Structure 1
Amino acid sequence: MPESFPPRACPFHGDASITEPGPMTRVTLRSGQEVWAASRHADVRTVLTDPAFSADRANPGFPNPTGRRVQQDSGLKPSLITLDPPEHGPARRAVLAEFTVKRLAALRPRIQQIVDEHLDAMLATESRTADLVAALAQPVPSLVICEQLGVPYADHDFFQSRSRTLLSRSAAAEEIQTAAGDLRAYMDKLVTEKEGTLPDDLIGRQIARHRAEGTYDHDALVSLAVLLLIAGHETTANMISLGTLALLERPEQLALLTADPSRTPDAVEELLRQFTIAEFVTSRVAVADTEVGGVTVRAGEGVLTLGNAANHDAAVFPDPDRLDITRGARNHIAFGYGAHQCLGQNLAREELRIVFDSLFTRVPTLRVTAPVADLPFKDDATVYGLHSLPVSW
């Protein structure tokens, strides 16, 4: 595996250094760190469910693809995605109620309203052109997560710029540290304000719940809120733009979707599988000797879980490089797997469904105005996507 993690060989497939899933193998990262790479679907799922593997990023053996070790002086406590049992279970259950089917159903009309408002604004432009990222993909999930958390959307430029730095593979450690500190200070102030008013939003409800249980931890809630803010807008925004591009580039698949909107949920799953935009965030470090895929991983050794390669494992997904919205395969691991599977996955699915149904119904003549090869893909980011997507109609 190349040390520098080059751009994806094909924007619609995996990392250029991974051609197809294979046995567990040793690789050297940019930092010189040697880790295992798991690329087969079965091996990745084993690593993500076996208690012999830890999600603790402070462990020196945890895979560090960028070669940077950011000092833990931003004030942020370890986030939910870095916790192991027994701390992880209660922390996850405390916020899981915010993402139930019932609460999602209550959010659905507001998501539709947000999408409609942004499509109205986009379609009102005299030039009949737009950057779909700026006009739709970025603001929709940002508004949704802001309203859910109770974060002022007026501050979106601030937290989006810091999020981009945190997710950049090329940013210096000092830049990342500053961005983390800025977000921590921002959310610390916001949580402090909500402690006095207890508004009916996710942060306010978490404060009330933990106070009633005698378990309230201000700093832990600040870390959780920062995590949800970043994850809640960056990932879905990237999937909106990538999914739109993929469907426009494959008119036969788009025709199937527009002819039968009941296919949209399956189309969303196939797009999630195809792109697997959070390629490395599910990596782990062994805390006990264990066997994976026929090899022994020793305690202290890291495992880079290559989710994109796993989601293109032909043993699980026949003809994996072909986008097929009729595939119906929901056993992908685009949202991770096991105890740390993405909390907001169903919210993301609903946002994507509403956006694609609304966009292709209301703008049937939508087209991309630049060659795919010229589009600015986020090859330098931890979460894959597009910086911009020029369209016309």
Structure 2
Amino acid sequence: MACNSNVAMGEMLVLLGLIAGATWLSYAAFAWNVGRRLKAADRSSLPVGNISGELTVLIPCHNEAKALPHLLNDLHSQSHPVRIVVINDASTDGTRRAAEAAGITCIPAESSGKKSALATGFKHVKTPWLATVDADVRLGADWARSLLATAVRENAACVLGGVVISAEPSTGWHRFQRLEFAVMQTWIAGGVQSGRLAMGSGANSLYATADYPADALQPEWASGDDAFALLALRQADKAIQWCGGPDAQVVTSGAPNWKALWQQRARWASKTGDQDAETRRTALTIAAVHTVPVALAIGALITDGTTGWGMLVGFVAAKALVDWRLLALAGREFGITWHAGDAALFPFRYAVLVWGAWWQLLRGGVQWKGRQI
């Protein structure tokens, strides 16, 4: 009996090892594809001169009285003039007053939700180009000019700019978020540049007004306007471009705590079922590569031997190498540097993020701005 038990334990470890190896190879292939597809970001200054094309910026707002004045000030300071449309999505604070204090009329959304707010704002667009931004972002003076220049040069229906987590305050928690979000944005950048992925952020997107798919936003979802709009454009074979220069980036704040970050990522993960095959495959790869260590730890406890623990340590170390490769790509794309301690802790913090997000998704109750997903 003992012999049979040992054989079974050995077979289980072999099976776990094969699964771990296949999962790591899938994760390594993901990182390799990101690097292969990624084009070097153009960090040169924009040429002096006028960029043709009028632009309307849509800002859907739900209780953004504190953040909105800063964004409106940034938009008023653009080197390329923009028209601003603020849409009030059932705010209960001073959002409307904040917009009006800056000289902007605040339009009430026709019904509740960000999708409805965007659809309402779209009806007020009279320019050939429109952009969508979140009310809590900050942007530089050449933001509009940079996105428009890319759209005109590439004859694109949509141009996506990067979203960067603020470097302040410079705590370990915020530096982790800045790095992790940059890794995700780098995957998006490579996918968009290669034409293989329709994914971006509604916090920083520019569209040709004639191509904006206002009827494809799926208002039954509380968020995800960016994902559904880009998917519709891709299905219509419209050109989607990435603008990697720093002038095109917007800056936003990180989540205040783990729970808020888990909720955010669970909300994003909830939409992957309606996305393209690559997005779904990537989500499954990320989930699998963070599930394998748990399975290996359980296997090591059951077998009560050094082989299982050695497999666990080896897998964690091998995964960390891929994580660090992704960090290097993200740092190059977004000009982000990090401390050695940040890199050492990143694989473990990343695992906590993935586990927590999936737990939030499985248990339900995912919310966005107080609204049930």
> Normalised by the size of structure 2, how large is the TM-score?
0.27
> Normalised by the size of structure 1, how large is the TM-score?
0.26
The structure carrying a bigger helix percent of its residues is 2
The structure carrying a bigger strand percent of its residues is 2
